[in-house]
Amino acid sequence: MKVKLNLFIFFNALILLASCNGQTSVKLNKQAKAQNILKGDTVPVIGNNVMVIFQDSRNDYWFGSWEAGVYKYDGQTIVNYNIEHGLLDNRVDEIKEDEFGNIYFSSANAISEISKFNGKTFTTLKAIPSENWKLNSGDIWFKSSYEDTGKVYRYDSSTLFELQLPHPPHLTNPFAVYSIYRDKEDNI
């Protein structure tokens, strides 16, 4: 009888220890994954000077501001991302999304770069000067907000192209682009 009692206690202790260890390792895995995801600053309200509003494919709203970066509202929480979190500039003039759910932010900077947010981190896309004027269905087009440069940008999921608009003779005012939209039929 004593052997049965010892075996009973041993197996119960083994089950208890094994089940707790499993919970601990799952908890540690969740914590490790959470550390890889960028967390902005949770704020009670959206700041002043909102310049652009965008609704993404997950029904989150993004508010680009003049000087405080971008705010994301998921229906419950407002999170602010700015240069401290990896955003290229605290001024956000344009917000777009690609077919994979990545969010892009352009701003008025002279260095021809755009921020890309994949849901975890920000990366900076550097434009290369190009004459590659194509119209592919998956491309994303951005305006240049920096002064009157007469430039637009085309991103094809791998390269950000800087494209110069033509400069017709005898015109004192160069062309400028104020917005670029794509319709349901892929027209720009």
Per-residue pLDDT of the chain (188 residues; tens, 9 = 90+): 555 544 445 444 444 444 444 444 444 343 333 444 678 889 999 988 899 999 999 999 999 999 999 999 999 999 999 999 999 889 998 999 999 999 999 887 667 888 999 999 999 999 888 888 888 888 888 877 666 667 888 899 888 988 888 777 777 666 667 777 777 777 77
**Angle formed at CA 23 by CA 28 and CA 13, multiple of 5 degrees:** 135
Amino acid at 115: S
Residues 114 and 153: beta-carbon distance below 8 Å: yes
Residues 155 and 116: beta-carbon distance below 8 Å: no
Q: How many angstroms separate the CA atoms of 166 and 170, rounded? A: 12
**Angle formed at CA 95 by CA 76 and CA 82, multiple of 5 degrees:** 65
pTM of the model: 0.73
Which H, E and C letters describe 165-187, residue by residue? CCCCCCCCCCCCCCCCCCCCCCC
pLDDT given for residue 33 in this prediction: 38
DSSP for 100-125 reads: TS-EEEE-S-TT-EEEEE-SS-EEEE
How far, rounded to the nearest angstrom, does the alpha carbon of residue 146 sit from its chain's CA centroid?
A: 21
Domain boundaries, the chain: 1-36, 41-164
* From the candidate CATH numbers 2.130.10.10, 3.30.1490.20, 3.40.50.2000, 2.40.50.180, the one assigned to the domain spanning 41-164: 2.130.10.10
